Amino acid sequence: MRAEGGRGKLDSMAATHAAHPERALTYRGLPAEPLRLGTLPRVAEVVHGMPEEQVRICHDTPELRLLAHGRTLTGPEPDWCLTLPDGTEHHAPPAAATPSVIPAELADRLRAYTGGRTPHPVLRLRTRHARTRLFDAGGRALAELDRAETLAQPLHATPGPVRLVGWTRTEVRLVHGRPRLLAALDAQLRAQGLTAAPDPPPTALLARRREPAARRVPARRVAPGTAGAALAAYLRGRTDELLALDAAVRRDEPDAVHRMRVCCRRLRSALTAGRRLLRRGGVGPLPEELRWLGQVLGRARDAEATGERLAAACAELPPAAAPGQLAAHLTARFRRRYADARLQVLEVLDSERYFELLDALGTLAERPPLRGRARRGRAELARLLRREQRRTGRRLRAALAHPAGPGRDEALHRARKAAKRARYTAELAGRDAARLARRMRDLQEALGGYQDAVTAERLLPQLAAQARADGEDTFGYGVLFAAQRPAARAALRDARPAGRRARARRLTRLR
């Protein structure tokens, strides 16, 4: 074995790991415990890099909300860095004039997790890195071990016994080695007492231990395979997704508003469809608050989607309708509508009501108020699915029995919402209900095509009037208007067989 201080090969190995994250394992162990490597397949040389020490100032809320969610924000020197639970790092240089201010590009990624609070320096993290590389007889790098020993010291006096916390994180990454080398390393490291890295990361342990005792309520245990376990896992997953999408919406990433709106619907559907598994009144006003947030997001999403749909439909127009010019006008109009609606979304995302909603969702996801019924197994989930399937079928049959007109349009819209709820409930039930989820998605999309056409038919006369007032040629608006009713009829024809396929009883049978 020999020591080496260079970093060129280390950097290239890190890049290899970024491209193939599945070729890595992560462990925890005692800070003072040395690693001892025995005989390993094809390993001819073990090279130890020079240890490196790094001191970082960690920023968070007084309750350590970021750390509790597995996120670590350090800075401003050498730069601002946000580390996510999967190890992904987002860097931003400090501003020359205000280096202590968190850059906006990182602040947007934090607000949902901090509840709108501004993070301040709370911890000093002292980390000692020791890297070890494994080479074969030809000098080719096979694997790298990165052992990081960290001590976290609070910068201010806080309630509770914790003042200094330490942990070790060891990551093993294959470079050119084969999976059997990773398996051999895994066996040796576990034999030395290392265990799989915790989830959430070790810093979250400090956050939980510093939480006031009055707020440390243990989560209710639910047995795996029960209806309650499925509901609890779904609520946790969708709540985490909502928090992550907050930053995407703030940065106006493509399709972010739509994804956040769908996430709200999924959460609301789970709470509504699964209400028999939850204690009466246990979820409080959460379904209505999710509806409110979804409606705010919906105004922006509808402007975005309607503009895209009408602009795309212009490609089918005859040359006399000036399709290119009409598409440009429609795109510009709906971009303005989207921009106005997005300002309202951003106002809501910075409101106290929104942050209270996120806090309530987090509490619910961690400790769902489950009833005794939730301890039942897959049969309870199957009953839940059948109930949603029958509800969708009743609404669709009633809607199709309506004569054409606004009444049928509204009834079909209600049937579409029922299909969405049934689809999301099937997602909650897992892979065994995947076929039901697909059938309900097909029905939802057919009814959505009908809804889009009906909405466009009502909207186009208003758009034409605005265009006429602006001195535009409105012939193309009339051609688009004439195309909506046939499109609605075609979508309705698709909805009938989609509804028959979605009501098969076998779709709700769970193994």
Tens-level pLDDT at each residue, the chain (511 residues): 444 444 343 333 333 333 344 678 888 876 555 667 888 999 999 998 888 998 999 999 988 889 888 888 999 988 999 988 877 889 999 988 888 999 999 999 999 999 999 999 988 989 898 999 999 999 999 999 998 888 888 887 654 444 567 778 888 999 998 999 999 999 998 888 888 865 445 555 555 544 443 343 444 566 788 999 999 999 999 999 999 999 999 999 999 999 999 999 999 999 999 999 999 888 889 999 999 999 999 999 999 999 999 999 999 999 998 999 999 999 999 999 999 999 999 999 999 999 999 999 999 988 899 988 889 988 999 999 999 999 999 999 999 999 989 999 999 999 999 999 999 999 999 999 999 999 999 999 999 999 999 999 999 999 999 999 989 889 999 999 999 999 999 999 999 999 999 999 999 998 7
Query: Could you give the dihedral angle defined by the CA atoms of residues 468, 473, 479 and 480, in that order, rounded to the nearest 10 degrees?
Result: -60
In three-state secondary structure terms, 327 is helix
Do you know the residue count of the chain? 511
Angstrom distance (rounded) from CA 504 to CA 426 = 14
pLDDT, tens digit, for every residue of 347-375? 999 999 999 999 999 999 888 999 888 89
Query: Could you give the dihedral angle defined by the CA atoms of residues 27, 31, 37 and 42, in that order, rounded to the nearest 10 degrees?
Result: 40
Element (H, E) at 52: strand 52-60
Work out the angle at residue 173's Cα, subtended by the Cα atoms of residues 171 and 179, and round it to the nearest 5 degrees.
Answer: 125
Angstrom distance (rounded) from CA 429 to CA 380 = 10
Report the candidate in 332, 327, 334, 329 with the shortest Cα–Cα distance to residue 301: 334
